[in-house]
Amino acid sequence: MTRYGPVGVAVVGCGTVSHEYLPTLTAAPDVRVVACADLDLDRAGAVAARYGVPHATDVSTAIQHPDVELVVNLTIPAAHDEVAGAVVDAGRHVYNEKPLSMDREAGARLLTAAKTAGVRVGGAPDTFLTAGMQAALGLLVEGAIGSPQSALLLMQSPGPESWHEAPEFLYQPGAGPLFDIGPYYFTALVSTFGPATRVAAVGRQAFPHRTIGAGPRAGTSFPVRVPTHVTALVEFAGGQVATLVFSFDSALVRSGFLEITGTEATMALPDPNAFHGQPRLRRATDEDWVPVPVPHRRSSRGMGVVEMAQALRLGRPHRASGEQALHVLDLMLSIADAVETGGFVPVRSTFTLADPLPAGWDPTVPTLVTGRSWQ
């Protein structure tokens, strides 16, 4: 059946991050949020009421609602595979929060199942679609730094246990600075250079135990089971290289540092883990950084869903793709493997690099009109 106008969306998982998605989705004329669902029906009801969503239901009713074409999966990571698999089985498109999946094989199975079913997979994060990041990517494509050669990336902090009341999970396999913060930085990196081909890394721990600093369990010590400092090298298919540090072992906080150096200049990208920020450019002749003009438009969590919905109607590829999200997962797992083995590890997955968004793109500006689509 050919459909026209706004794309019908269901949000599955009505926890913390749903309150960031729903303001974006309900402000976007090209999507219509039809249903909210959660294991906790009261929570789904409260979220639906707050954002004016007409239906609050269990997961399978939401997925199978006749008006729902695209399901936004905001469940906890351990439920991502099961929920996304059910969505694809029901013949609906799915957009997953990060990580795309718990492992490479399950992620690849999801993409294969979607292809067979003729539906699409999208994946967070969508921070690479902010106005600042896209302005920077547009300039890089136009040659503003000459030929891009290398990237330098730094995220260091003391870790979240001083303010987080239950930080244990952040120091267990599947988390740590690499997996917790990495998706934002790696998505920015691969949307600049394209797919990576191999990595090397070392990892270490400054402290075998950490102590909770806030809340009723303050003072409780717990074991650290992942590297809390990772230094990695990444090589890309285009020949560029990146040097990265992800650390929870530093009293000094320094984050959002991602610089791309080319043959003629260096571009400092905005913080890849934020929805605001201005890129800066520095040529050999510049005495200081020069801010890059950024168009004023809405940049908020969920815009990747809006862009995917527009792409569905218009029959073009969407930018926050499942292939890109799987590649980012593969890249992080490969770095973790390299920490274990001490050698270079090949990265075998790949994806197609999207063009930067058109300068005037804004998720609150309609691209699809009821009755027919244009462009």
Ligand X SMILES: NC(=O)c1ccc[n+]([C@@H]2O[C@H](COP(=O)([O-])OP(=O)(O)OC[C@H]3O[C@@H](n4cnc5c(N)ncnc54)[C@H](O)[C@@H]3O)[C@@H](O)[C@H]2O)c1
Q: Which residues bind ligand X (CB under 6 A)?
A: 12-17, 38-40, 43, 59, 74-77, 79, 82-83, 97-98
Report how far residue 63's alpha carbon sits from residue 315's, in angstroms, rounded to the nearest whole number.
22
In the bound complex, which residue of the shown chain has the CB atom lying closest to ligand X? 15
Q: Tally the C-alpha atoms within 13 A of residue 95's C-alpha that lie toward its C-beta.
A: 29
DSSP-derived letter for residue 206 is S
8 A C-beta contact, residue 129 and residue 299: yes
Q: Which of 92, 100, 150, 102 is nearest to 122 (CA)?
A: 100
Report how far residue 23's alpha carbon sits from residue 132's, in angstroms, rounded to the nearest whole number.
20
Nearer to ligand X, 59 or 309 (CB): 59
Residue 39: CB minimum distance to ligand X, A: 4
Tokens of 48: 């639906």
Q: Tally the C-alpha atoms within 13 A of residue 151's C-alpha that lie toward its C-beta.
A: 30
Instruction: Identify each DSSP E strand in 82-185 by its residue range.
Output: 93-96, 121-123, 148-156
74 burial type by CB count under 10 A (0-12 exposed, 13-18 middle, 19+ buried) = buried
Report how far residue 348's alpha carbon sits from residue 340's, in angstroms, rounded to the nearest whole number.
18
Residue 329: CB minimum distance to ligand X, A: 12
Nearer to ligand X, 164 or 282 (CB): 164
Residue 252: CB minimum distance to ligand X, A: 24
Residue 86: CB minimum distance to ligand X, A: 9
Residue 301: CB minimum distance to ligand X, A: 7
Nearer to ligand X, 63 or 354 (CB): 63
Residue 125: CB minimum distance to ligand X, A: 7
Provide Rg for the chain, Cα atoms: 21
Report how far residue 313's alpha carbon sits from residue 10's, in angstroms, rounded to the nearest whole number.
17
Nearer to ligand X, 79 or 245 (CB): 79
Nearer to ligand X, 82 or 286 (CB): 82
Find tokens 């303001």 and name the residue. 23
Residue 177: CB minimum distance to ligand X, A: 15
Residue type at 246 in one-letter notation: F
Nearer to ligand X, 14 or 269 (CB): 14
Nearer to ligand X, 83 or 135 (CB): 83
